[in-house]
């Protein structure tokens, strides 16, 4: 069954006008795909998925990483009306099966070498079906009821930075509004070659790289992961114009790579985590290019983009994009002159997959203020308290105290289970010094109340990061649980 899809129709127009144009180059696979190649891939994948007795409304989880078949898979799902949930390539098999159960997915699509044979204690079974193009589908038996997530086209997993990850119900109208805003604000056109290093499974990569390809045929050089030594040669060889990354990439490139031959590059965009002034200034010194902040979320798509030419130590996230609207709501915990960011517009979803529905807007966890030029500057995050024996502790306060300790370059504080208190504070420190819970508590006791002192402390040489470049809080939670 082929269904009506605005994005699929847009790609049909690309196919009509540019059938033989190369739209995707994947050097790591030795593959170049034209518009016609992607169209044929999508047709093949749709045929096999339907032969597996998957139909309109069945959710498909994809864990493929940045591979050349990803645009074809997305297009196949759009054409057949199967909502897609892209997840990080590093997701372990047990977690993948758990996601499928939680969100009633009918199939999990992975590279053909991945084995997802289920635990015999599970109530459902999954059977492997070769899809071709390097992919396999592990199909759930019995099939869950189709249509649970209608009318969603894509379910985006949130980062879970303040709790358990949720899934957005992103309809095609939300995706179309988002890609229109991005293409217009960043001047990304049908002939703009982009560098694809950030994960296509993340909302950032999906919106900035994959959607422009389907919407208007914006071509893409795709890499499976960030390899610093490949960046400059890729830009120079392919004449790439845009590079979307995350802060640690730009910081590493500026400090450790010779970025020569990148004269074709005109747009460098950072999102996914807060961009530091030190990174902006270091990259500009190395390349003459400004790293521009792009602010968004899974629930809203893009919100703001910094289109200003000046280097600004405040590192603004820029002006509101397209038809998006921002309201800064009063909040007692907000820094002076700031408010909490509420977003509305055609790009904002209506609900999460497990509820609740929104009232036409989404209240973020960010504080910001806006200057006279319409530039928004983020000023902090709304507190996510840890409840220690009935007393609320703001982790950011503890983190600031930890970073002030001698030899500590970074720190994350979060709640850990405690048999006596219910919750206690745990701390992960980046340090060359051998701190432990006793010495940390002794050092912080003069400045923090007793219930705010970490009971569990682990020391690492670097904070673990996700593929998105964000601090991997689930990995830190596991370190603290072992500590």
Give tens-digit pLDDT for 4-16.
Answer: 899 999 999 999 9
**Which residue intervals of the chain bear CATH 3.40.50.980?**
6-141
Structure tokens at 25: 């180059």
What does the pLDDT read at residue 123?
62
Mean pLDDT estimate for the chain: 93
- Assign domain 6-141 to a CATH class: alpha beta
Distance between CA atoms of 28 and 25, rounded to whole angstroms?
A: 9
Residue 452 DSSP code:
G
Question: What is the torsional sign of CA 461, 467, 469, 473?
Answer: negative
β-bridge partners, 465: 471
Q: What percent of the chain has pLDDT over 90?
A: 80
pLDDT above 70 (res 462) = yes
124-142 pLDDT, tens per residue? 788 999 999 999 999 999 9
Token couple for 259: 């970025």
What's the chain's length in residues?
A: 483
Does residue 120 carry a pLDDT above 70?
A: no
Q: How distant, in Å, are the alpha carbons of 371, 407, 473 from that of 378? A: 11, 28, 21
pLDDT of residue 11: 98
173-181+210-381: CATH topology: Rossmann fold (3.40.50)
Q: Give the pLDDT confidence score for residue 121 in this predicted structure.
A: 52
Question: Which of 70-84, 118-132, 268-282, 457-471 comes out lowest in average pLDDT?
Answer: 118-132
* pLDDT range class, residue 354, cuts 50, 70, 90: confident
Could you tell me the pLDDT band of residue 163, with boundaries at 50, 70 and 90?
very low
In whole angstroms, what is the distance from residue 209 CA to residue 224 CA?
Answer: 13
pLDDT tens, residue by residue, 233-257:
999 999 999 999 999 999 999 999 9
Tally helices (H) and strands (E) across the chain: 13, 23
- Residue 309's pLDDT band, with cuts at 50, 70 and 90, is very high
Q: What is the pTM of this model?
A: 0.84
Average pLDDT in the 439-464 region? 92
pLDDT tens digits along 372-407: 999 999 998 887 778 787 677 878 889 999 999 999
The pLDDT of residue 110: 97
- CATH annotation of 386-482: 3.30.300.30
Tokens for 379, please give them.
């000023």
> What confidence tier does 176 reach under pLDDT thresholds 50, 70, 90?
very high
Percent of the chain residues past pLDDT 70, beyond the cut: 96
In the block, tokens 């645009």 appear at: 71
Report whether 301 contacts 181 (CB < 8 A): yes
Q: Which of 408, 416, 464 is nearest to 436 (CA)?
A: 408
Portions of the chain given CATH number 3.40.50.12780: 173-181+210-381
Residue 421 above 60 pLDDT? Answer: yes
């Amino acid at each position: 069954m082929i269904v009506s899809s605005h994005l699929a129709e847009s790609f049909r127009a690309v196919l009509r006008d540019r059938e033989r144009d190369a739209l995707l180059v994947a050097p790591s696979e030795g593959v170049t795909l034209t518009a016609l190649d992607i169209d044929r891939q999508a047709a093949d994948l749709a045929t096999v998925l339907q032969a597996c007795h998957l139909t309109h409304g069945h959710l498909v989880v994809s864990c493929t990483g940045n591979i050349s078949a990803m645009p074809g898979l997305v297009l196949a799902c759009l054409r057949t009306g199967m909502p897609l949930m892209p997840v990080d390539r590093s997701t372990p098999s047990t977690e993948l099966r758990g996601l499928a159960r939680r969100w009633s997915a009918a199939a999990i699509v992975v590279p053909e070498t991945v084995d997802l044979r289920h635990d015999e204690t599970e109530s459902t079974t999954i059977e492997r079906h070769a899809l071709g193009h390097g992919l396999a589908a592990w199909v759930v038996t019995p099939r869950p009821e189709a249509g649970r997530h209608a009318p969603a086209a894509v379910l985006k997993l949130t980062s879970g930075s303040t709790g358990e990850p949720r899934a957005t119900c992103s309809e095609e109208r939300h995706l179309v509004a988002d890609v229109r805003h991005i293409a217009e604000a960043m001047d990304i056109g049908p002939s703009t070659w982009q560098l694809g290093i950030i994960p296509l499974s993340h909302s950032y990569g999906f919106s900035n790289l994959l959607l422009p390809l389907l919407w208007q045929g914006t071509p893409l050089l795709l890499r499976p992961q960030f390899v610093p030594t490949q960046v400059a040669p890729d830009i120079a060889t392919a004449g790439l114009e845009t590079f979307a990354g995350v802060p640690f990439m730009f910081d590493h490139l500026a400090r450790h790579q010779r970025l020569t031959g990148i004269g074709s590059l005109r747009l460098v965009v950072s999102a996914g985590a807060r961009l530091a002034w030190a990174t902006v200034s270091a990259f500009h010194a190395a390349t003459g290019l400004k790293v521009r902040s792009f602010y968004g979320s899974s629930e809203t798509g893009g919100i703001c983009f910094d289109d200003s030419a000046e280097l600004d130590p405040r590192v603004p996230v820029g002006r509101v994009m397209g038809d998006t609207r921002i309201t800064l709501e009063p909040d007692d915990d907000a820094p002076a002159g700031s408010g909490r960011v509420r977003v509305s517009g055609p790009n904002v979803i209506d609900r999460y997959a497990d509820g609740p529905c929104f009232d036409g807007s989404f209240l973020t966890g960010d504080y910001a203020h806006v200057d006279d030029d319409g530039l928004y500057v983020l000023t902090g995050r709304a507190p996510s308290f840890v409840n220690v024996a009935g007393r609320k502790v703001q982790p950011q306060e503890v983190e600031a105290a930890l970073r002030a300790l001698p030899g500590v370059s970074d720190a994350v504080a979060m709640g850990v289970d405690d048999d006596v208190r219910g919750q206690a504070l745990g701390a992960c420190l980046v340090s060359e010094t051998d701190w432990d819970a006793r010495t940390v508590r002794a050092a912080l006791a003069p400045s923090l109340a007793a219930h705010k002192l970490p009971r569990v402390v682990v020391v690492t040489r670097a904070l673990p990061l996700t593929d998105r470049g964000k601090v991997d809080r689930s990995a830190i939670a596991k370190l603290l649980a072992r500590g």
